[in-house]
Structure 1
C-alpha cells in the first residue's frame, strides 16, 4: 500500500470517529408544585422530604422510606432514559464505517452519565442503612425500658 492511501484512510477513519460523539440527554425533574399544610402552593424543585421540616424529627423519620422509594423511582427513570439514548446511539453506530469505535464511545458516554446516578444511589443506600439502624436502636431501647419495669 502507498503511504498516501494509508494517510487518506486514517483521515477518513478519524473524520468518522469525530462524528460519533454521543451525548446522553440530561433529564431534569420538572418543578412540581408542592402544597404546604396551610394550603398554599409553592413551586420548587426540592421535594418536602429534603427540605427542613417544622414538624418533629419523628414524622420526618417515618416519611424517610417513602422518600427513598420515590428517589429510587426517579433514578430508575433517569437510568431508563440513558439506556434509551444509548440504544438510539448504537443504532446510529451500526450505520457508520467505524462501528466498534462508535459503540465504544457510546458505552463510555453511558458510563459517564450513569456515574452520578450511581453516586446518588450509594448515598440513598447509606441513608437507608442509617435509618434502619436508628429504627433497630429504638426498638431495642423500647425493649430495654419494658424489661426494667418488670421486677
Structure 2
C-alpha cells in the first residue's frame, strides 16, 4: 500500500514540475497534460496492487505477465493523447515564433 501511495505521489509531483516548466504553454494543453499524469498515476497504482497480489498466487510469472499486459493496454491511449498534445504544442510554438518574427520584420522595405 505504501508503494502504491508513493508511486501516485511521485507521478503527481512529476506532473507539477512539468507544469511549472511549461508556463508559456496554453492552459488547455497544460490541463490535459495534468489529467494524463493523474490517470497514469492511477494506472501505475493499480498495476502495483495487481503485481503485489500476484505474489500470493502459485503461477506468479503468468500473473505478472498479465498485469503488465493490462498496464500496457491501459497506458497506450494515454500515450496517444500525449503524442497529440505534443503535436498541438509544436504547432502553437511555431505560430508564436512566426508572430514574433513578423513583429520584427520592417514593414516598408522599399525605403533605404
Note whether the superposition's TM-score is higher than 0.5: yes
Equivalent positions of 1:60-79 (< 5 A) are 65-79=26-40
Report the 3-state secondary structure (helix = DSSP H, G, I; strand = E; otherwise coil) of the residue aligned with 1:95. Answer: coil
What is the total number of aligned residue pairs between the two structures?
89
Q: In the alignment, which of 134, 140, 146 is matched to residue 95 of structure 2?
A: 134
How many Å apart are 1:115 and its aligned residue?
A: 0.2
Q: In the alignment, which of 36, 52, 56 is matched to residue 95 of structure 1?
A: 56
Partner of residue 114, structure 1: 75
**Runs ≥4 residues deviating over 2 A:** 145-151
Greater fraction helix: 2
Structure with max Cα Rg: 1
Structure 2 unaligned regions, length at least 5: 1-23
TM (norm. structure 2) is 0.73
Aligned partners of 2:108 and 2:93: how far apart in 1? 22
Greater fraction strand: 1
Structure 1 unaligned regions, length at least 5: 1-62
